[in-house]
Structure 1
Amino acid sequence: MSPLPTPSRIRTPAVSSRELSTRPSAWPAALLLLTVLALTAIYVTAPATRRGAAAFVLICLCASSAMAWGIRRNRPAAAHAWYLLAGAPLLGGVGMGLRLGLAGVGDGGGIVALIPDLVTIPAYLLLISGLLALLRARRGAGAHSGLDGGLMAVAALLLSWTLLISPLLANADMPVSLRFINAAYPTISVAVLFVGALLAMTEIRSNTAFWALAVGWIGLATGDLVYALASVGRPTLPLWAANASYCIFYGLLGAAALHPSMAALSRPALSRVRGYGNTRFIAVAVALLVPAATIAIRSPSTVVERVVSALVVSVLGLLVLVRITGAVNRHATAEVRLERQANQDPLTGLPNRLRLVSHLEAALAHAHVTGRGVGVLFMDLDDFKIVNDSWGHETGDGLLNVVAARLTAGVRRSELVARVGGDEFVLVTQEADSAADAVGIAGRLLTLFDVPVALQSSHIVMTSSIGVAFAHPAERAVTAEDLLREADTAMYRSKARGGGEVVLFDESMRTETASRIALEGSLREALERGELAMHYQPIINLMSGQTTGFEALMRWQHPDRGMIPPIEFIPVAEATGLIVKLGRWAVQQAAADLGRWRSQFGALSMSVNVSPRQLRDVQLVSVVRQALHDNGLPGAALCLEITESILLDDVEATKATLDALKSLGVRLAADDFGTGYSSLAYLRLFPFDQVKVDRSFVSGLDAGGDDDVIVEAVLSMARALSMTTIAEGIENTIQRDRLISLGAERGQGWLFSAAMPAAQATEHLLDAQIERGHVELVPEIPAAADPTPLPPALAPHSPRQVSKLRNLTG
C-alpha cells in the first residue's frame, strides 16, 4: 500500500527548513501499514498455528503502540478519544490470544468459550466511545445529520436482525449465552456504522485519517459479517479471511493515529451550509428501501420476528416524519429570516428601502381610494462623516442606532420610518391632509435632535436636513419612486442652504432637476465634441506687476446655451464622477499650454484645481507624472490647488496621495484658506507649499472691517510656516495696496485680468514682454523669402503688438 499523502488542497504557511525537519510526516503511517500487511500475510498462510496467532497478536500490539506514539507525536486536541480507540486493538489481540489459547480447553463450549468474547466486546465499546468522543470534539453533526444517520442505522439493524440476529437467537443447537454473544456482534457493528456516519457528516471527508478509519470500519464489518454468517450455518468465507479483515482494521486504525491529519480530525468542524449531496441522498434512499425489500424477501415467520420488524419499521417511519418536519421547519425559518434580511436594515432594525417602497406603494393606493394625502420626509444627518472620521465607525453606528430609536419613538403608529442609506432616513405619513401638515411633521422630527447624543463620554449635537414631498394620489398620478425622488431633491436643497432645516419640494425644483439631468447628458459628450476649453487667469507678483503664472479654469461653450459657468457644471461632474475624466484632461491640457509658454517666455507656473473625486482617483499621480514628462516640465512648475473640505475625506489616504504628488516635485496649495475646518491643523499635517487667501476675505479689505486682521493673520501664519501666499479676487487698487502693505506676495483677480483662452493668454504674455522691452520688432518677411517658419519668439506679432513696439522704439 502506498503512503497516505497529505491532501494537496490544504495550504500551509511557509516554514523554515528547521521547522520542516520537526514537522510530523506521513511515512510512519505508511511503514506501519507495510508491517501490518507483512504480518497479515504470515497469519493468512498459517491461521491455525502458533505462528499465525503470534502474527495476529503482534498486529494488534503494533496498532496500539503506533496509536499511543501518534497521539504524543501529533498532539490532537481530543487525545482522550484516540486513547480510547487505541484500547480496541489491544483488547482485540488479547481476545484472539485467549481464543487460540483456550481452543483445546474443555469441549469448546460453556463459560470457557465466552471468555474471549468477554474481552473482545469491550473492545467494540471502546471503539464506539472513542468515535463518540471524536464526534463531540468536532461539535456534533447537527440534528438533521443525526436523523439521517439514524435512518441508516435502523435500516441496517433491520437487515441485520432479519438475516443474522433472528436466526442466531433461534438456533437451538447453540447455548443461549453463546447465541446472545454472537448476536451482539452485528448489533454493535450497526452502532459503529451509526457513529461513523455521523462523523462523516462533520465536513471531514477530505481528511486522510478519516478515510483510514472508514476503510478500517469496512474491514471490521466484513469480519463480523463472516463470523455471523458462519454462526447461522451460512459460511461465505473462511474464518481466517474474517481475521485478516480485522488485521486490516487494526492496521488502518494505527495508521490513522500516526498520520498528521488526525489532529484536524480532533478539531471542531467548520460551520458550512451545504446542500443535500448525492452520496448522502443515495445512502438515505437505500436506508428507506432496505426494510421493504428485506420484508419482501423474507417475511417474518414468528411472533417475535413480526413484533421486532414492526417495531423497527415504526421507528424508521417516526424518524422519517421527524426528518421531514425538521426540514419543513428549517425551510420556513429560513424563509422568515431571508424575508427579514430582505426588508430590514441590519444595523438599526428599521425597514430598508425595499420595504419602504412596498409600504409607500400600498399607502398611495389606499390614499387614492380615501382621497387623503401621502407625505414623504427624506432626512439626512448633517456632517455625519465628521463623526465617523473623528470618533470612528463604531461611534457612527451607535449614533445611527440612537437616531433610529428616537425616530421610532417619535412617530405615530401609522407612520413608517426606514433607513435607506448610510445616514439617510425616510418617514412615510398618511396623517397629513396638506403639504403644510407634512412640513409640520418634519419640524417635529427636527426637535428630536435638540437633546445631544451621549456617546463614548462625548455629547454630540446633531442636526438634520429634511426634504418633504406631498401628493394627493386622487388628484395627481404619482408613484412611490416619484415621491422619494422629490423628497430627496428637496433634502439636497436644504443641504445647499446649510442644513438643519425643512424644505418642501415645489415645481421649480422639478424644473431644476430636469435641467440638471439634461445638463449631465450633455456634459458626458462635451469633451468629445470639443466644447470644453481651458481658460487661464494670470497670477501677478504684487510688487513688480509681472505675470508669474496662471490658474487653469475649465469653461464649457454649450452649442445651445452658450457659455455655462463652472458653478453649474462642475458640481454635476463631481456628483456623477465625470470630474475624474475631465480632471485628467485639464491636467494634460494645462501642462501642454504651460510647456509651450515656458519655451517661449521662460519660467512660468501653472495652478490646477483638484476635486475630491480626483484626489481619490488611483491614477491621479500617474496622470500628473505623465503630463510633466510629456511636456518637459519640472514638478515645481505645476501647483495643485486643494480645498480644505477635501482634506476631511479619509485623512490617511489623502495624505498618502499628497505625499506621492510631492515626490514628483509638484507644489501643493491650500485653496480657499480659512473657509474650512481646522485650517492650521491641516497646514501642519499636509505637505502644503502655498496658501491661497480666499476672495471672501480680500473683498472686505476696502471696507475697513475685520478682514484686515484675518488676512494679516493668515499671511503671518504662512510666513511662519515658510509658505508662499496668493490672494484671490483682487478687484481694485485699494485691495491690492492693502495686500502689499500686509505682506502678500502674489495675487489674481479682475484688477489684473479675467480668465482668458490660451491664445489670448499668449498675447498677454507677449504684451508683458514687449512692455519690459525684451522683444525686438521683427520686419515683415518678403514674399520671395525662405518660407521656413521662425522660432516662436521671432515670429511676426499681431498689428496691435507691432504698433506698440514702434511706439516704444520711437
Structure 2
Amino acid sequence: MPPQEVNRDAVVSTGRSRPERVALLGVLLVVLVEAIWLVARLPNAALVADGGAVVVASWASVACAAVAYRSPPPLRRFWGLLAATMALSAVARALWALHRTSSGDIPHTRLVGLVFITGIVLGTTAFLLSPSAPHSTVGRGRAVLDGVIVGLSLVPIGWVVVFQDIAADELTEPEHTLALVFPMLDLVQLTILVAVAGPSRPMWRPLAVLGASLCVRAAADIGYVWLLAHDSYVAGHPIDLGWPLTCLLVGLATRHAAPPDHAHLDETTIPPVPPWWRVALPYLPVGGAIVAVLLARHPTGQTPPLVLVCVLALLAVLALRQGLAANENLRLVARLRQLAYADQLTGLPNRLMFTRRLRRAIREDAPVAVLLLDLDGFKQVNDRFGHATGDALLVNIADKMCEAVDGDGTVARLGGDEFAVLVDGDRPVPPERLAERLLTALKPADDEEDVGTHPSASIGIAEYGPQHATHSDLLRDADIAMYAAKAAGKSAYRTCTPELRESAVSRAELIADLRRAVDEEQLELQFQPIIDLGTGQVHSAEALVRWRHPRLGTLAPGRFLPLAEETGLILPIDRWVIHEACRAAAIWRRGAPEATIAVNIAAAHLRRPDLIATVTGATAAAGLAPRALTLELTESALIEGSESVLDRLRQLRELGIRIAIDDFGTGYSSLSYLHRIPATELKIDRSFVARLGEDARAYATVNMVSSLAEAFDLRVVAEGVETDRQHDAVAAIGCAHGQGYLYGRPGSLADLSTSLTGS
C-alpha cells in the first residue's frame, strides 16, 4: 500500500510539499502577469485573460482534489465538490475562449452557460455539506431558500440600477436580458455560505476565504453586467481579472483545510442562538425589490417581463419559506411541550405534567388517589455500578411499572428514583391492590438477585379527602405514608392515616426545633461511669448527650439522634459533644490524673476529612492529653467505611487517641474487619449481657469476645450491666471493665467528679 494511503482518513495537515509550494508561486506569478497585462492594455489582452483564468482554475481544481484525497470522509465530499466546481470553471472558460476566438463575439452560448451553472450548483452543494452546515434536510432547505430569495430580489434592483436607461431595442439581446442571472447566482451562493457558516462559533477558515472568493466573483459579474449593458465591455478588460482571482482564493482556501474546532460536536450539543441579522438576512433585500418593481419600466412604460417573472418567483419562494418556518415552529412547539412535560430518561410524564393532571382530577371532584414510590438503596447502585447502570435501572423500572399498572392509573417519574401513580375516575382497582401489583412487578427475578442492581421499593398511598386543601397536601400525605413504609422494613406499602399524619407533623416540628438546639444551648452532657471490675474504681466515663427541649422536657438520644443523622444535624451536634467532653475531662483530670472520657462518633462524621482537625482542635483547646480521649464507633459505621476512613483512624491512633468499637457483636462481619481497625477497646453489646445467666449461647458469645479481645490485646467493656448476676458473670468471664445502671446512671459533671475524686 502506498504510504500516502495509510493516513488517508486522518486529519488533514496544514503543511505543503515542495511541488505544491512551487505550483502556488507559479499561479501567483500568472495572476500578477495577467493583472499587469490587462491594466496596461497590452496586445492580446483577451487571450491572456482567458488563458490566465483557465490556468488558475485548473490549479485550484487540482489543489482541492489533493486535499480531498487526504481528508476524512466528511471533508472529502466537501473538497471533492469544490474540485469539480473549479474543473468546470476551467472547462467553461476554455469553451468561452474557443467560441470568442472563432466567432469574434462575446460568447453567451447555452453550452457555456450550462457548464458555468453546473459548477455553481456543485459549489453550492459543497457549502451545504461543509462541517458547519445544518445536518437536517430542513435546515439545508432553509439555507437554499434564503439564498434564492436574496438572488431573486437582486433582479428588480439590478434592472433599475443597470437597465432603466437602456433603449428598448437594446434589450432584445439575450446577453442583456439574461445578464443578471450570474450575479443573482453569486448572491444565492454567498447567502447560503453565510447561512451555513455558523452564527456564534468561530468560522472555519476555508469558509471565510471562500466567502471572500464569492464576493470577488459577485463584484466581477456585476461589473461585467454594467459594462455589457452600457456597451462598454471588450474582451481583455481589467474586470476579467476578477475570475482568476476568484479561483485563486478557492485554491488558497485549501491551505487551511484542517477540520474546524467544533467538528467533534454532536447532536447533544446545544445549538447557539443565531444573531438577529441572520434571521432577517433573506428578508432585507425584499423591500428593495418591491421598490424596484414600482420603478422598473420599459421606455414604453410597461414593466419588463423578466422583472415580473422574478417577482412572481420571489413571492412563491417567500411563501414556501414561510411555510417551512411555520412547520418548524410547530415542530419546535411540540418539542418544547415534550421537554416541559415528559421525563427525558424514561419518557414518562414528569413532575409538572403529573401535577397538572392531579390538579385537574381534583377539580373534577372525582375519587383521586396517589401512590408515591421510592427506591430503597438506589444511591448504592449509582455509587457501586455508575450512573449509566442507574439510568438503565430506572428505565427498566419505569417499563415494569407501566406494565403492572396496565392502564389503571398514570405512571410518572417525579425525579431521581421517585415515581408516582395517579389513580382517578371510577378506579376499578383499589390503590392498595395496585401497590401490591407494583411490588410484585419490581421484585428481581431469580437470575437477577445476585447482581445487586435491583433495589426494593417503598410505596406510600394517599386518597383525596376533606383534609386536603390542595394537591400539595395530597402529595405530602403520600410522602408521609412512603416513609412509614420504609420504616416498616422497605419493600412494603402504607396508606396515610390521621395517626401517621400527626406523627409526621410532630417529627417535622421536632426537626425544626433541633436545628435551633445547638445555637440556643439546649443540649447538655451527662456522664455514665465505667468501672474497673477488679477494683471497683472509676477511671473513665462515657459522655452522653441530652436535649433539654423547652416544651417536651429532657429527651434521650434515641429520640432525636436518628433525626439528626437523617438531616445532617449530627455533624454540629458531634462537634459540640467532642469539645464539651474534652473540657469536662480536663477538669476531672485535675483531681484524677488518669481519668479518661469516651465520646460516640456518628458514621457521617467518620467519613469527613475534617474529623482529625475537629478532634485535635478540641483536645488542644481544652488542654487535654490525646490519650485521655476515646472515640466510640459502631460496627456498622466501620463496616461501611472505606480505606480512607481506616487511614483516618490510623492517624488518630498515631496521635494517641483511643478507638473503641461500640455494640460489638451486632455486625455481620466483625471478625473480618477487626484485624484492620486500629482499635484499643471492645464494648460488648448490652443485648448479650442482658441474657447472661439465662442463655448459654449469650454466655458463650461474651466469653468468645473476651478471649478474642485478649488475643488482639484489646480492653473489654461489658455494656448494660444492671444486676449483680450479670456483674458476677462478666467478672467470671474475665471482662476487665463494666458499664451500666448497676454502677451508675448518667449524671451531671458534679456527680461524676465526685466518683472520680472519691475513687
TM bucket normalised to smaller: 0.7 to 0.9
**1:216-252 deviation digits (Å, cap 9, x = unpaired):** 2211211121112222227699975534444553443
Instruction: Say whether 1:512 aligns with 2:495.
Output: no
- Please tell me whether the aligned partners of residues 102 and 112 of structure 1 are also in contact (alpha carbons under 8 angstroms): no
Matched position secondary structure for 1:587: helix
Aligned counterparts, 1:263-412, within 5 A:
264=261, 271-298=269-296, 301=302, 304-305=305-306, 308-309=309-310, 311-341=312-342, 345-367=343-365, 374-382=368-376, 400-401=394-395, 403-411=397-405
Counterpart contact for 2:634–2:663, Cα < 8 Å: yes
- The one-letter amino acid of 1:189's match is D
- Residue 569 of structure 1 and its aligned partner are, at CA, apart by 2.0
> Which SS does the other structure have where 1:518 is aligned?
helix
Percent of residue pairs bearing the same amino acid type: 28
Q: Quick check: 1:535–1:554 contact (8 Å CA) kept in 2?
A: yes
Match for residue 215 of structure 1 among 212, 215, 218: 212
Query: In structure 2, how many angstroms separate the alpha carbons of the residues matched to 1:61 and 1:251?
Result: 10
Is residue 584–residue 620 contact of structure 1 (8 Å, CA) maintained in 2? Answer: no
- Structure 1, residues 658-708: CA drift from partner, whole Å, max 9, x if none? 577667665544433333454445546766554432211221123234222
Match of 2:632 in 1: 641
Match of 1:781 in 2: none
Q: Deviations over 1:611-644 (max 9, x none)?
A: 2443455543432343344345565554433334
Pick closer, same or farther for the CA change 1:547–1:208 going to 2, 3 Å: farther
Q: Distance in 2 between matches of 1:392 and 1:262?
A: 34
Which residues in structure 2 correspond to 1:689-768 (within 5 Å)? 690-718=681-709, 724-768=715-759
Aligned residues of 1:227 and 1:242 also touching (Cα < 8 A): yes
Residue among 130, 133, 138 paired with 1:134 = 130
Structure 1 404/118 Cα, relative in aligned 2: closer, same or farther at 3 Å? Answer: closer
**1:337 CA drift (Å):** 0.8
Structure 1 residues 451, 123: CA separation in 2 closer, same or farther (over 3 Å shift)? closer
Which stretch of structure 1 is more off in the superposition, 521-530 or 374-383?
A: 374-383
Partner secondary structure for residue 607 of structure 1: strand
Conserved in 1, the CA contact under 8 Å of 2:461 and 2:495?
yes
Which whole-Å CA distance do the structure 1 matches of 2:613 and 2:28 have between them?
67
SS in 2 for 1:78: helix
Distance change >3 Å, CA 108–CA 366, structure 1 → 2: closer
Residue type of the alignment partner of 2:296: R
CA contact (8 A) 1:74 1:258 kept: no
1: CA distance, partners of 2:71 / 2:103: 47
Q: Distance in 1 between matches of 2:135 and 2:348?
A: 36
How many angstroms apart in 1 are the aligned matches of 2:77 and 2:437? 66
With 398-407 and 549-558 compared, the bigger mean Cα shift is at 398-407
Residues 1:146 and 2:124 aligned together:
no
Aligned pair in 2 of structure 1 residues 765, 730: CA closer, same or farther (>3 Å)?
A: same
Aligned length in residues? 734
- AA aligned to 1:207 is W
- Contact 2:373–2:459 under 8 Å retained in 1: yes
Three-state SS of the structure 1 residue aligned to 2:130 is: helix
Match of 1:231 among 228, 232, 238: 228
- Report if aligned partners of 1:612, 1:646 keep a CA contact under 8 Å in 2: yes
Question: Cα–Cα, structure 1 residues 178 and 444, in superposed 2: closer, same or farther, change >3 Å?
Answer: closer
Contact 2:58 2:90 in 1 (8 A): yes
Amino acid at match of 1:143: V
CA shift, 1:767, in A, is 1.6
TM-score, length of structure 2 as denominator length: 0.79
Residue pairs, 1:144-223, within 5 angstroms:
144=139, 146-160=141-155, 163=158, 185-186=182-183, 188-201=185-198, 205-223=202-220
Aligned equivalents of 1:324 and 1:116: distance in 2?
37
SS of the equivalent of 1:572 reads helix
Q: Which amino acid aligns with 2:220?
A: G
**TM-score, normalised on structure 1?**
0.74
> Could you report, residue by residue, the CA deviation over 1:470-509 in whole angstroms, capped at 9, with x for unpaired residues?
4543xx5643333333343344344334345554544444
> What is the CA–CA distance in structure 2 between the aligned matches of 1:380 and 1:115, rounded to whole Å?
74
Q: 1:308 to 1:78 in 2, by over 3 A?
A: same
- Call closer, same or farther: CA 1:661–1:229 in 2, change over 3 Å: farther
- Amino acid aligned to 1:225: I
3-state SS in 1 of match to 2:529: strand
Inter-CA distance 332–747: structure 2 relative to 1 (3 Å threshold): same
1:554-573 equivalences in 2 (<5 Å):
554-573=545-564
What is the 5 A alignment of 1:352-501?
Answer: 352-367=350-365, 374-382=368-376, 400-401=394-395, 403-411=397-405, 413-420=407-414, 422-429=416-423, 452=445, 454-455=447-448, 458=451, 464-470=457-463, 472-473=465-466, 476=467, 478-499=469-490, 501=492
Question: Which amino acid in the other structure matches residue 271 of structure 2?
Answer: V
Structure-2 change in CA distance of 1:85 and 1:355 (3 Å): closer
Contact 1:152/1:283 (8 A) holds in 2? no
Given that 1:643 and 1:671 are in contact with CA atoms closer than 8 Å, whether structure 2 keeps it comes out as yes
Gapped runs of 5+ residues in structure 1?
Answer: 1-21, 769-810
Contact residue 226 and residue 237 of structure 1 kept, 8 A = no
Secondary structure of 1:727 counterpart = strand
The 1-side partners of 2:631 and 2:745 are apart by 20
